[in-house]
Amino acid sequence: MSQIVEINSEPTKQNKKELARQKSQALILDAAERLFSSSGYDGASMNAIANEANVPKANVLYYFKSKDNLYEAVLERILSNWNLGLIDISVNDDPAVALYKYIYLKVRLACEQPMQSRLFATEIIRGAPYLGDYIRNNTRPWFRKKIEVLQAWIDANKIAPVDPTHLLFMIWSSTQYYADYQTEILILQNKLEYEESDIQAITRSIAQLILGGLGLKLPENR
């Protein structure tokens, strides 16, 4: 599995090859992400994915041994991508600033990478057959820590006493909604796509309601 990676600045042949390999795989993963997210696991056929990636189907199955395997790889890539950009909240932060930033980044992610959120959503709706363990072993401990942070803020009278669990769910739901229900939202607003100004307006509205509900003022330097 593992491969020795040269630290040398000049890429070796091994390095080149591995790079090409990853590039090929990334191309297939991109296509798979697009199709899985729009058509669901069963709706996206290996054939369609291969076409989307402009490679023969057998090649897809050469890199990813099965459809399950490919689906899992797509999910893992999404999760690692999310973990990269995830800004934490911690006890010593100023609640208003930290929460505003958190909301803003979540809205950005939802509007700019909606496919990832949608794929995640369908996986959960199906009963999380692949992510169940991940949520139990990774998300839950992280979740509990954040609950503690929120509770600490409440105890220190920094925010109004709201059930921290549902507060966190509310931030997740109101931001993710703009990805998952994008189609409906755009129809209702008679728009073709989100613009930069929408991201600002969404963030402001969500922050206004949630921070307001917590008895906080919107931070100055947004």
| Binding positions for DNA, rule: CB under 7 A | 13-14, 16-17, 21, 24, 42, 44-48, 55-59, 61-63, 65-68
Is 191 an interacting residue with respect to a copy of itself (CB under 8 A)? no
Q: Which stretch binds a copy of itself (CB under 8 A): 2-10, 14-22, 148-156, 203-211?
A: 203-211
Is 214 an interacting residue with respect to a copy of itself (CB under 8 A)? yes
163 versus 195: smaller Cβ distance to a copy of itself? 163
Choice from 11, 43, 56, 85 touching a copy of itself (CB under 8 A): 43
Please measure the distance between the N-terminal and C-terminal CA atoms of the chain and give it in whole angstroms: 45
Question: How far is 177 from 175, CA to CA, in rounded Å?
Answer: 5
Residues 6+ positions from 27 with CB-CB distance below 8 Å:
53, 54, 55
The region that residue 55 occupies, defined by phi over 0 for left and psi between -120 and 50 for alpha, beta otherwise, is beta
Concatenating the DSSP letter of every residue in 113-166 gives SHHHHHHHHHHHHTT-TTTHHHIIIIIHHHHHHHHHHHHHHHHTTSS----HHH
Is 62 an interacting residue with respect to a copy of itself (CB under 8 A)? no
**How buried is residue 133: exposed, middle or buried, by Cβ count under 10 Å (0-12/13-18/19+)?**
exposed
Is 143 an interacting residue with respect to a copy of itself (CB under 8 A)? yes
CB 176 within 8 A of CB 169: no
Choice from 14, 62, 172, 222 touching a copy of itself (CB under 8 A): 172
Q: Which stretch binds a copy of itself (CB under 8 A): 12-20, 46-54, 61-69, 136-144?
A: 136-144
Pick one of DNA, a copy of itself, none as the site partner of residue 47 (Cβ within 5 to 8 A by kind): DNA
Least distance in Å: CB of 117 to DNA? 23
Least distance in Å: CB of 118 to DNA? 19
Is 70 an interacting residue with respect to a copy of itself (CB under 8 A)? no
